[in-house]
């Protein structure tokens, strides 16, 4: 399964060991200069799983740069964190600026269990955001490649994402494709998010 739900994780959402195993040589992404999750290019930067303590390091404020978050209390955050940990399959990954103890980038891999393809696993990329004051450090590319390699590491047969037109080229450079005749993302909305 590759889902690390039964081991002791401290306040990590998933095992930080998983990120150490990633081989950035497998990705078609070009980094210049070369950086990886283990060596993100600055000694004050770290790529790691989400921690409970990230509530106090601006994780939700960072997500609010992406979309509406609303007033999520610390107990609501902890409850959702616990639910994700118990369910398994949630790999929320962040970049911290350790100088200021602030979360400056995030992306989520979710892993769906299937019956098809020999009870396979399908990964999905969700909620990618990088603090826009940190442009030029390849952090968007870094966080997406990190969770994409993580999908392969935990055994997914494919990784999927939905994106806006303006981001298609970016994701193509990272190995994602619009498959001919089969690349429509449709939605039905039940209510406006508050």
Instruction: Identify residues 34-53 at the interface with a second copy (CB under 8 A).
Output: none
Binding region for a second copy (CB under 8 A) out of 17-25, 36-44, 60-68, 130-138 = 60-68
Among 89, 95, 142, 147, binds a second copy (CB under 8 A): 89
| Cβ 122 vs Cβ 86: under 8 Å | no
Report the C-alpha gap between 68 and 110 in whole angstroms.
20
Among 43, 68, 132, 133, binds a second copy (CB under 8 A): 68
Q: Binding residues for a second copy, how many (CB under 8 A)?
A: 72
Check residue 6 for interaction with a second copy (CB under 8 A): no
**Cis peptide leading into residue 33 (ω within 30°):** yes
Question: Which residues from 98-127 bind a second copy, rule CB under 8 A?
Answer: 110, 112-120, 124, 126-127
Token readout for 130 is: 């990088």
The candidate with the shortest Cα–Cα distance to 162, out of 182, 185, 179, is 185
How many CB atoms within 10 Å of residue 31? 14
Report the C-alpha gap between 123 and 109 in whole angstroms.
6
By beta-carbon proximity to a second copy, the closer residue of 43 and 187 is 187
Binding region for a second copy (CB under 8 A) out of 11-19, 40-48, 57-65, 94-102 = 57-65
Check residue 93 for interaction with a second copy (CB under 8 A): no
Among 63, 102, 134, 137, binds a second copy (CB under 8 A): 63
Check residue 160 for interaction with a second copy (CB under 8 A): yes
Check residue 9 for interaction with a second copy (CB under 8 A): no
By beta-carbon proximity to a second copy, the closer residue of 3 and 41 is 3
Burial of 160 (0-12, 13-18, 19+ CB in 10 A): middle
Cβ 16 to a second copy shortest distance, Å: 20
Report the C-alpha gap between 125 and 145 in whole angstroms.
10
CA distances from 69 to 56, 64, 142, 151 (A): 15, 6, 24, 26
Check residue 141 for interaction with a second copy (CB under 8 A): no
């Amino acid at each position: 399964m590759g889902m690390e739900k039964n081991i002791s994780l401290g306040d990590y959402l998933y095992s930080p060991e998983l990120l150490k195993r990633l081989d950035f040589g497998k990705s078609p992404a070009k980094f210049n200069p070369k950086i990886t999750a283990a060596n993100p290019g600055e000694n004050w930067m770290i790529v790691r799983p989400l921690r409970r303590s990230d509530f106090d390091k601006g994780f939700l404020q960072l997500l609010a740069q992406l979309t509406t978050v609303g007033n999520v209390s610390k107990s609501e955050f902890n409850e959702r964190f616990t639910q994700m940990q118990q369910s398994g399959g949630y790999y929320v990954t962040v970049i911290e600026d350790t100088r200021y103890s602030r979360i400056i980038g995030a992306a989520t891999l979710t892993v769906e269990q299937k019956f098809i393809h020999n009870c396979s696993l399908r990964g999905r990329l969700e909620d990618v955001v990088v603090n826009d004051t940190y442009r030029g450090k390849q952090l968007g590319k870094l966080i997406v490649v990190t969770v994409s390699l993580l999908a392969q590491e935990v055994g997914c047969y494919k990784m999927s994402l939905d994106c806006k037109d303006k981001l298609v080229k970016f994701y193509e450079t990272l190995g994602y494709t619009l498959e001919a005749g089969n690349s429509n993302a449709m939605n039905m909305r039940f209510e406006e998010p508050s």
